[in-house]
Homo-oligomer: A and B are copies of this chain.
Amino acid sequence: MIRRVREAAGHAPPGVKVAIGDDAAVLALAPGAVLVATTDLVIEDVHFRRSSASPADVGWKAMAVNLSDIAAMGAEPRWALVGLALPDSTEVDAVDALYAGMREAAAPHGVVIVGGDTSTSPGGWMICVTLLGEHAGSPRLRSGARPGDAVAVTGTLGRSAAGLALLQAPTAAGVGEDTRAELTRAHLRPAARVAEGRWLGAQPGVHAMMDLSDGLATDLGHVCRESGAGARVALDLLPVAPATREAARGLGQDVLDWATGGGEDYELLLTCEPGAVDSLARGLLATTGTRLTAIGRIESSGDAITYVDAHGQPVTVRAGYAHFHE
């Protein structure tokens, strides 16, 4: 298995002095850089179901959720360690596909697998990826939001929740095949905003940043609590993709529930100087092709978040996100 993982991991790039096969990996950061480190678990029947996610999808997601955490720091992801527990009955092809999915998510960002551990699992599949990155300056934290800041998000919200709903509803009236494909892919193969995070994290106007893994309501709550501030969010400003609206109509769901309460979009949430949001949006679009949308502002009101409709009236939104769990 070590040999298999070593081959699957490919050749060691610069910075990797010792990779898979010794007691530990030996890695060299750029001079003066700080180390950024995160770990995420991806567990069968909690975070995915094998009936709807292929082994390659599972590998992709296990890597992508970690890439997203590094992206949220504005850091450069470099090296991954993979703890992998699989039942004895797992086919070798499935193991290969799992690693291929991890590599497919990692390689565009220059990330290589440098170590890990494998075990039999008496239960289902369990993947624990640790991702190590580096940052030449000061990573953007959840705690950096200041009253008066604009609140903005990359991309669109609710696509992953829409994709999950479609996976659970094989037939949905009025939902086209392209829409289904786009949204299920958004759920199964989320794209971590690595280039976006690095660019945004390097802009002086950006004060706080995190990734949207548990849904806007929950995650903005983290920013507010860590920053000792509140927020006001205009629901009509939330960016929602046409495909997501189409799926909501087809399934009879409220698209705002997905946008505020749906998790796993892995978009970036940031707060910035209120005057900087337009130039940030233009710069991000020019640099990465990704949109940045202002959705509200940080307020000095405790750590409460107020959601308002198009008429400025406060409304209650779906908060929190129960991971896929029966």
Interface residues of A (CB under 8 A from B): 17-18, 21-29, 31, 34-41, 43-47, 68-70, 72-73, 75, 79, 81-85, 114-124, 126, 128, 130-133, 135, 139, 141-143, 210-211, 226, 323, 325
Name A's interface SS.
strand
A-B contact pairs, 11 of them (CB 8 A): A22-B73, A23-B38, A24-B69, A24-B133, A37-B115, A38-B81, A38-B115, A41-B118, A43-B121, A45-B122, A119-B323
Q: How many Å lie between the Cα of A35 and that of B27 in the bound state?
A: 5
CA–CA, A134 to B251, complex, Å? Answer: 53
Copies in the complex: 2
CB <8 Å contact, A43 and B81: no
CA distance A212 to B99 in the complex (A): 28
In the complex, what residue of chain B is closest to A210 when comparing beta carbons? B23
The reply to whether A72 and B34 form a contact with Cβ atoms under 8 Å apart is no
A44 to B130, CA, bound (A): 21
Verify B142–A22 contact, CB threshold 8 A. Answer: yes
Q: Are B24 and A28 in contact (CB under 8 A)?
A: no
- What residues of chain B lie closer than 8 Å to A43, measured between beta carbons? 85, 119-122, 126
- A36 partner residues in chain B, CB cutoff 8 A: 24-27
Q: Smallest CB-CB separation from A123: which chain B residue?
A: B123
Whether the Cβ atoms of A130 and B39 lie closer than 8 Å is yes
Known: A38-B81, A43-B126. 11 other contacts (CB 8 A): A24-B131, A24-B133, A24-B139, A27-B37, A35-B35, A37-B79, A39-B81, A39-B83, A41-B83, A46-B119, A132-B132
